[in-house]
Amino acid sequence: MASMVSEFQYPVLLSGSPLPIRIYGTAFGPNRPVPHVIDALREGYRAIDTASTRKVHNEVSDGEDIATALQDAKMALKREDLFIQTKFAPAWTQAEPWAFDVGDDLQTQVYKSALRSGTALKVDAIDAYLLLQPMGTMEETRMVWQAMEDIYHHGGVRYLGICKADLPVLASIYEKATVKPSIVQNRFTHRNQYDKLVLDYCKEHKICYQAWGVFSEENKAVAKAVMGDIHARGFRVAGADFDFFLQCIMAMNQRQAVMFHIVDGSSNVEHMRQNLKIGAESASIGDDLIVAFRDALDQYHMRAKSTA
């Protein structure tokens, strides 16, 4: 199965459909309510993002919800309609019960962790396996990547990816890997100009970009300022400013031919419905508005830089 996937393709579901733009993230924590994977699947999410660390994810409960959805005759879902993505989480991000033994070498940690993830999620093969974050050194990052490549070659996973990767790390993995990264999952923040360097690299190497942190208070503040600028330029936009800001972000990336996805983890069904609409109207946004939006965003970055 894995050998059929070209390293230059963007990820697709087993059915052949493209990876959906919105991905449901299952992290929980002090400021994040426990996710409702079953609700997300009922509402229409088809891609699920989880991780092996029990600190902020629970693959067992995610797997139970996925199994429930697959058995629900009304939903009429098949395994090939879903994209199930999880991550190798390094030792310092783990919590009881650990996915591997503390004394295991890195390679064994990755094998054991992937095996446990597949069992918890009740899948024969994971669609995408990501490294939660770069390891302490580039050498260790490469060792983990090589172990992930082994899993790919044995058909345990269809795509590989990395999270929290800046350009030097991403480029280093890409250049040395025999199985190239298909996915980068990064925090989408104005502080690094919305990851411009990584997005450019992703475009050039046909890597899909998954943004998290999109619904942060920080992003809402940027949206308020940028949309204020857009209104001041005489543009009239439909709907709430933050929703329109997200539509513009999607449109801007799509027009630059970047494969841009949003990972969100709402536990609120109304928010899920709202989030599933992101990107639906991006194609109808005029080029003049996109040009103005990009300029307003650049101006915001410049102001933020000069006051930092």
Ligand X SMILES: NC(=O)c1ccc[n+]([C@@H]2O[C@H](COP(=O)([O-])OP(=O)(O)OC[C@H]3O[C@@H](n4cnc5c(N)ncnc54)[C@H](OP(=O)(O)O)[C@@H]3O)[C@@H](O)[C@H]2O)c1
Q: Which residues bind ligand X (CB under 6 A)?
A: 25-27, 32-33, 49, 132-133, 163-164, 185, 212-215, 263-268, 271, 274-275
Least Å from the CB of residue 299 to ligand X: 25
CB of residue 302 to ligand X, shortest distance in Å: 26
Beta bridge partners of 210: 185, 261
Smallest gap from Cβ 43 to ligand X, in A, equals 12
Other CB atoms within a 10 A radius of the CB of residue 80 amount to 12
Is 20 or 295 the residue whose CB approaches ligand X more closely? 20
Residues 6+ away with beta carbon under 8 Å from 105: none
Kindly tell me which of 183 and 289 has the beta carbon lying closer to ligand X.
183
Give the nearest distance from C-beta 148 to ligand X in angstroms. Answer: 15
The whole-angstrom separation of Cα 71 and Cα 66 is 9
**Closest CB to ligand X belongs to which residue?**
25
Compare residues 120 and 263 and give the one whose CB is closer to ligand X: 263
CB of 86 to ligand X, least distance (A): 10
Q: Output 242 or 255, the one with its CB closest to ligand X.
A: 242
Comparing CB distances to ligand X, the nearer of 162 and 292 is 162
